[in-house]
Amino acid sequence: MVYESIIEATEEFDAKYCVGVGGHGSVYKAQLRTGETVAVNKFKEAVEVEIASQKAFEREIHTLIRARHRNIIKLYGFCSSSRHSFLVYEFLELGSLKDILNGEERITTFDWKKRLNVIKGVAYALSYMHHECSPPIVHRDLSSKNILMDEEYEAHVSDFGTAKVLRPYSSNWTSFAGTFGYVAPELAYTMEVKEKCDVYSFGVVILEVIMGRHPGNLISSLASSASSSSSNSTASCWHLKQALDQRIPYPHGDTLGEVAFIVKMALTCLSAKPEHRPSMQQVSQEISAHRSIVIGASGDIKLEELVDPGCFPY
């Protein structure tokens, strides 16, 4: 009955109900006969992608059945028939974090308090996946497009089609997965999946939330600075004031100190060496403590002063 209701609500998956497109299919908004609105992720059916889509479909089901957390998307059910394969989720009103950051409509209301709350929510979800699920779950494709937002600006990690369960005593080597610009650098020469890969992606997401855009140039500057002893490196030119999103008022007081600490945490997560990155459990504990950094009278600080290599030598 639910299957037929979804087909009816989307008019056989008409394009006008499509609210997003992912690597393995498209997401549709469906209002059921009960009045409830759900999101339906319909997987591709073309012959050339059928095997990959089927694997992603099964992987997402198995992962979301095991992972239950307020900051992880809720899976209501799934359907696999000769006609269609799809997953049914809760519908989140504001769409993806990427949509919010790229749009001008809501950006002025996406203030520092809401942004810090989004970062905390994602940290809690990843800490749960890495440290409270047994065996641990690695997302492998954390990015702003895979973080969905409800009307309270609460973050929900989604799209587990490439997630990897780290089973003990088995190989955790796998094919490449992830979104360009968010993938940990070690995956360029090794295909071994570890939790620290998610930690790096989380660092990118933090900076994207704080800057209002993907931090590609800043990450490149930090990487070149780490490999250079010169004080004239490009990273030394970056200041907190220029890095923060200019579309909303500059933070002050305790909020500025907390934003600066979050940036410091992001830079630690982006360490080129996985062993120098904190675990997500450490990150969530630090964030929960509402730590802040004292900023001088100028209200600014160089980002290189926030870089603390070897802070978490685990």
> Would you please indicate which residues are annotated as catalytic (active-site) residues?
141
Q: In this structure, are residues 184 and 127 in contact, taking their beta carbons and an 8 Å threshold?
A: no
Determine the Cα–Cα distance for residues 228 and 17; give it in Å rounded to an integer: 51
Question: CA 79 to CA 68: how far, in whole Å?
Answer: 20
135: preceding bond cis by omega (within 30 degrees):
yes
E-strand ranges in the chain read 18-21, 25-31, 37-43, 75-80, 85-90, 95-96, 137-138, 147-149, 155-157, 164-165
- The pair phi, psi for residue 248, each rounded to 5°, is -125, 160
- CA separation for the pair 302, 296 (Å, rounded): 11
DSSP H or E segment with residue 209: helix 195-211
* CA–CA distance, 221 with 304 (Å, rounded to integer): 10
Tell me how far CA of residue 294 lies from CA of 32, 78, 254, 260, 301, in angstroms: 52, 50, 9, 9, 10
- DSSP string for residues in 220-288: HHHHHHHT---TTSGGGG-BHHHHS-TTSPPP-HHHHHHHHHHHHHHHHHT-SSGGGSPPHHHHHHHHH
296 and 261 in contact (C-beta within 8 Å)?
A: no
Token pair 């409830």: residue: 36
